[in-house]
């Protein structure tokens, strides 16, 4: 049902959700690698059974870069570091397309206002005279020290955000759950089991940190699961009493 794993220090959770939601390039994972050799090797492994969205090559922004869809449909942007001292890392990258085109900067400002210890690190607009002038060409920001990338995606794209990729917010208290749930559902929509969509259509899971412990208790887990499946916003006390 669920598997937790780690790639280059980045935490991931995989769920078997069935065919309802398919991965799209609206959220991809930007991978920064330490050498051209390692970049090529990683590209070749991810390309096996998948397809290239942008072929690996030299581009104005990178000595070696490519955008690939792997055999599971997840997309990755593979790049070599552009200056000495940069560290290998994996960063989610959000692409605002179609009716969300031009919303990237608004989204960055919104997200950094919701989470503590947040900041916009890089914000580059398309230059004056460009057809997309004023829109976000590239940005880096962090939410409570967790790095993200956001860009506006010009052109006609047949995809946008969906539940196939979501962001998990682990909360220690009911007060934290209530805060993030209320902030992120403003203009968005509630779903079940701690899931929601924000006003940009990005999916989030607002979950208590104690959930994993409760779900691994063989005696309590079935009752906790029954209670959990009935909830929209998670109520910690109800789970504890299950």
What is the pLDDT confidence band of residue 50, given thresholds at 50, 70 and 90?
very high
**Residues 6 or more apart from 83 whose CB is under 8 A from it?**
none
**18/54 same-domain check:** yes
Residue 187's domain is classified under what CATH number?
3.10.180.10
**124/29 same-domain check:** yes
**198/123 same-domain check:** no
Structural domain count of the chain:
2
**22/142 same-domain check:** yes
In a domain, residue 159? The reply is: no
pLDDT of 85 over the 90 cut? no
**22/117 same-domain check:** yes
**36/106 same-domain check:** yes
Question: End of a domain among 152, 186, 221?
Answer: 152
Average pLDDT for 43-70: 96
115-170 per-position pLDDT tens digit? 999 999 999 999 999 999 999 999 999 999 999 999 999 999 989 999 999 999 99
Average pLDDT for 71-87: 86
Average pLDDT, the chain: 94
**177/142 same-domain check:** no
**148/208 same-domain check:** no
Question: End of a domain among 118, 152, 186?
Answer: 152
Distance CA 236, CA 16 (A): 24
Distance CA 62, CA 39 (A): 11
5-27 per-position pLDDT tens digit? 999 989 999 999 888 889 999 99
**147/177 same-domain check:** no
Q: What is the extent of the structural domain holding 217?
A: 166-241
**16/135 same-domain check:** yes
pLDDT of 84 over the 80 cut? no
pLDDT of 213 over the 70 cut? yes
Average pLDDT for 160-185: 97
In a domain, residue 161? The reply is: no
Question: End of a domain among 110, 125, 152?
Answer: 152
């Amino acid at each position: 049902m669920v598997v937790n794993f780690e790639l280059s220090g980045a935490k991931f959770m995989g769920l078997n959700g069935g065919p309802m939601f398919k991965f799209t390039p609206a959220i991809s994972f930007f991978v920064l690698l330490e050498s051209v050799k390692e970049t090529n090797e990683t590209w070749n492994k991810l390309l096996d059974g998948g397809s290239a969205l942008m072929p690996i090559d030299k581009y104005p922004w990178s000595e070696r870069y490519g955008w690939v869809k792997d055999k599971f449909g997840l997309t990755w942007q593979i790049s070599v570091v552009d200056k000495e001292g940069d560290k290998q890392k994996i960063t989610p990258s959000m692409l605002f397309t179609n009716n969300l085109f031009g919303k990237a900067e608004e989204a960055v400002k919104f997200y950094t206002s919701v989470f503590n210890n947040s900041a916009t690190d890089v914000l580059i607009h398309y230059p004056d005279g460009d057809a997309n002038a004023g829109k976000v060409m590239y940005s880096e920001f962090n939410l409570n020290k967790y790095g993200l990338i956001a860009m506006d995606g010009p052109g006609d794209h047949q995809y946008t955000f969906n539940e196939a990729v979501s962001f998990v917010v682990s909360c220690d208290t009911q007060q934290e759950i209530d805060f993030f749930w209320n902030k992120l559902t403003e203009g968005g929509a509630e779903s079940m089991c701690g899931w929601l969509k924000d006003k940009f259509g990005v999916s989030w899971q607002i979950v208590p940190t104690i959930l994993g412990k409760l779900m691994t208790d063989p005696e309590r887990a079935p009752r906790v699961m029954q209670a959990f499946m009935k909830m929209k916003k998670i109520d910690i006390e109800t789970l504890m009493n299950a």
